[in-house]
């Protein structure tokens, strides 16, 4: 059985990317437009909240840590900063016992976009050797709340299918009075609304932190 020492770390985060105009409007194909290997598809950055939940300790400084191309210079610098977050988690967990929980990374939709994007960009910029990148990024335990939420939200879907951020928030955070704007991030980037992007992203990560807590509470076995 997996044990959860007080030092177990949880990283909740969200990334934002830019897609060139010529790749945005499509009537067929995948619902996800961004492809981190395609020219012009840029990782703008993201917001990160790293904690030790059993201790009630937040490791991020500040509580919601921002990394953006407009602050750090370019995509390569942002990727380097993000890799350092994962590298720190790996180093602190290096001496843990095998039956102790691995570091956990979580978010909504991170298994489809965020984690593959980080891996691909780290490889592109060669932030480390390929095997070290894999050890650092891919050996965390990924809890995608979009998938974890399937069992909480009744549906007539004929197959299992991930739930959206808004669907999860409507269920677990009925008190929220404001939903994220429908404007996509790349339109905000075209308008150079960088402050709006960073604020929106932090707001989403803040909601994810609450979602994670309430989903856990809902799933707890009661005596």
Q: Mean pLDDT over residues 158-184, rounded?
A: 85
Check residue 147 and give its pLDDT.
Answer: 97
Percent of the residues in the chain that have a pLDDT greater than 90, as a whole number: 83
* Fold (CATH) for 10-219: Nucleotidyltransferase; domain 5 (3.30.420)
Determine how many CB atoms are found less than 10 A away from the CB of residue 76: 16
Nearest residue to 172 (alpha-carbon basis) of 208, 136, 204, 147: 208
Q: Are 145 and 106 in contact (CB under 8 A)?
A: yes
Check residue 121 and give its pLDDT.
Answer: 98
- Residues 145, 70, 187: CA angle, nearest 5 degrees: 65
Q: Mean pLDDT over residues 28-51, rounded?
A: 94
The pTM of this model reads 0.94
* Cα 37 to chain centroid, rounded: 19
Q: Mean pLDDT over residues 131-139, rounded?
A: 97
Calculate the average pLDDT of the chain: 93
Q: Mean pLDDT over residues 110-115, rounded?
A: 97
Please report, for the chain, the start and end positions of each structural domain, with discontinuous segments joined by +.
10-219
Q: Are 142 and 115 in contact (CB under 8 A)?
A: yes
* Helices 194-219 and 165-172, axial angle in degrees (round to 10): 50
Q: Mean pLDDT over residues 182-187, rounded?
A: 79
Residues 6+ positions from 35 with CB-CB distance below 8 Å: 23, 41
* Cross-strand partners of 100: 3
Q: What is the DSSP letter of 109?
A: S
Q: Is the pLDDT of residue 183 over 80?
A: no
Whole-angstrom distance, CA of residue 132 vs CA of residue 90? 11
Q: Are 9 and 51 in contact (CB under 8 A)?
A: yes
Q: Is the pLDDT of residue 71 over 80?
A: yes
Whole-angstrom distance, CA of residue 81 vs CA of residue 75? 10
Q: What is the DSSP letter of 21?
A: G
The SS3 of residue 42 is strand
* Helices 130-137 and 75-92, axial angle in degrees (round to 10): 70
């Amino acid at each position: 059985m997996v044990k959860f020492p007080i030092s177990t770390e949880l990283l909740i985060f969200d990334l934002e990317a830019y897609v060139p105009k010529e790749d945005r409007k499509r009537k067929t194909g995948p619902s996800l437009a961004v492809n981190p290997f395609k020219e012009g598809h840029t990782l703008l950055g993201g917001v990160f909240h790293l904690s030790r939940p059993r201790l009630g300790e937040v490791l991020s400084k500040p509580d919601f840590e921002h990394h953006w191309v407009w602050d750090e210079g370019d995509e390569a610098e942002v990727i380097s900063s993000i890799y350092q977050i994962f590298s720190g988690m790996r180093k602190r967990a290096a001496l843990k016992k095998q039956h102790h929980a691995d570091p956990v990374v979580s978010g909504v939709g991170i298994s489809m976009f965020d984690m593959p994007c980080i891996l691909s960009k780290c490889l592109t910029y060669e932030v480390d050797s390929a095997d070290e990148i894999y050890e650092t990024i891919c050996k965390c335990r990924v809890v995608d709340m979009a998938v974890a939420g399937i069992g909480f939200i009744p549906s007539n879907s004929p197959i299992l299918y991930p739930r959206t951020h808004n669907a999860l928030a409507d269920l677990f955070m009925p008190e929220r009075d404001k939903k994220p704007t429908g404007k996509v991030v790349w339109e905000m980037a075209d308008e150079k609304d960088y402050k709006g992007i960073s604020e929106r992203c932090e707001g989403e990560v803040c909601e994810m932190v609450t979602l994670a807590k309430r989903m856990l509470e809902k799933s707890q076995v009661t005596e």
